[in-house]
Amino acid sequence: MKVVIFSTCIVDLFFPNVGAAMVEVLERFGCETFMPVKQICCGQPTYNSGYVKATQKVFRNEIDALLSVDADYIVGPAGSCVNMLREYRVLLKDDPEYAEKAKEVADKTFEFSQFLYRVLNVIDAGAELDAKATYHRSCHMTRLLGERTAPFVLLDHVKDLQMEPLPHIENCCGFGGMFSAKEPEISKQMVDEKVDDVLSTGAKVLISADPACLMNISGRFSRRQEKIKIMHIAEVLNHNVDPKRIKFHDPLPVEQEVRL
C-alpha cells in the first residue's frame, strides 16, 4: 500500500519527531511512504484570514504535490489540516482544471489515527507507555472531520497507559489558528481553562492528535511555570512497540466509515 505523507507546516517546523513517528508506525504496518517535497501549506491560515482568491494557488500547489505520487492514500498528523484537504472538493468545485483533482485528494486523505483504525483496521499498535495521561480532543478533528472514536480506541490498547478523562473535553484550547492572534485575551482565558482541566486529572502526559493544540497548551503550561509532558498520538503509538501485541479488528460497517 502506497501512502503519501501530508506533513503539515507545524510538524515540519516544530515537531519533526511527530512526522518521524508517524512514518515509522505506518511502515511497521506495511505502508510504503512518500513525502513530496513540493508541498508547503494547506492554505488554512490565509483562507481563514479572508484571502480566499489569493489562497487558491496554495490549494493547487498542495494538490499537485500530494498527487505527484500515484498513492492509495494521503495521511496527515493533524485533524485540522486534514480537514482542510477534505474541504478542497467544495472550495475548488468550480475550477475546471482542479475540481476532480480536489475531489481525489479529499477522498483519499485521512488523519493518522483515523487511518490506522478505519483503513488498516488496527486496534492495538503494540505500543507500551507506563504513564498517567489525558487526551485533548481537538475541535476541527471532532466537529469538522467527524472523528471521535479512533484515538480513544488506540490509546485504550496501549500497554500500561492509564488514561484519565479530561473534564470539559469538548472545549476548545483557544488556539483556533488565527483566532489566537486576533483575539489574544479571549484565547488566553480559554487555554487557561484547558490547562486547569488538564492539571485536575493529575496526568503527567497530555496527548493529542493535533500538534497545533499541543503547541498552544504546552506554551501556556510553560508560561505558567507548570510542568506537563506533551506527546502526539503517533509518538505514543510508536513507543516501546512489541509486534507480538499488535491486534486488528474486523472491518467497520460502511456506515461507520468517515467519508466527508
* CATH at residue 131: 3.40.50.11810
If asked whether residues 169 and 109 sit together in one domain, one would say: no
Distance CA 14, CA 154 (A): 24
For residue 179, is it within any domain? Answer: yes
Q: Among 14, 76, 26, which Cα is nearest to 241's?
A: 26
The CA angle 150-65-211, to the nearest 5 degrees, is 40
Distance CA 130, CA 125 (A): 15
CA distances from 84 to 3, 22, 135 (A): 18, 19, 22
Count of domains forming the chain: 2
What pLDDT is stored for residue 256 in this prediction? 58
Structural domain boundaries, residue 28: 2-118
What pLDDT is stored for residue 254 in this prediction? 56
If asked whether residues 114 and 167 sit together in one domain, one would say: no
Distance CA 173, CA 205 (A): 16
If asked whether residues 199 and 152 sit together in one domain, one would say: yes
If asked whether residues 133 and 105 sit together in one domain, one would say: no
If asked whether residues 153 and 222 sit together in one domain, one would say: yes
Q: Is the separation of the CB atoms in 125 and 237 below 8 Å? A: yes
If asked whether residues 114 and 10 sit together in one domain, one would say: yes
What pLDDT is stored for residue 110 in this prediction? 97
Tally of CA atoms within 13 A in the half-sphere of 18 that contains its CB: 28
The pTM (predicted TM-score) of the whole model is 0.93
For residue 25, is it within any domain? Answer: yes
* Last-in-domain residue among 118, 153, 184: 118
For residue 214, is it within any domain? Answer: yes
If asked whether residues 95 and 133 sit together in one domain, one would say: no
If asked whether residues 87 and 63 sit together in one domain, one would say: yes
- State mean pLDDT over 224-228: 95
If asked whether residues 61 and 145 sit together in one domain, one would say: no
> pLDDT tens-digit profile of 65-102?
999 999 999 999 999 999 999 999 999 999 999 999 99
Residue 49 has pLDDT above 70, yes or no: yes
If asked whether residues 98 and 133 sit together in one domain, one would say: no
If asked whether residues 101 and 22 sit together in one domain, one would say: yes
- State mean pLDDT over 24-42: 96
If asked whether residues 132 and 110 sit together in one domain, one would say: no
Q: Which grid coordinates belong to 24?
A: 515509522
For residue 94, is it within any domain? Answer: yes
CA distances from 207 to 80, 91, 105, 132, 201 (A): 16, 31, 28, 11, 13
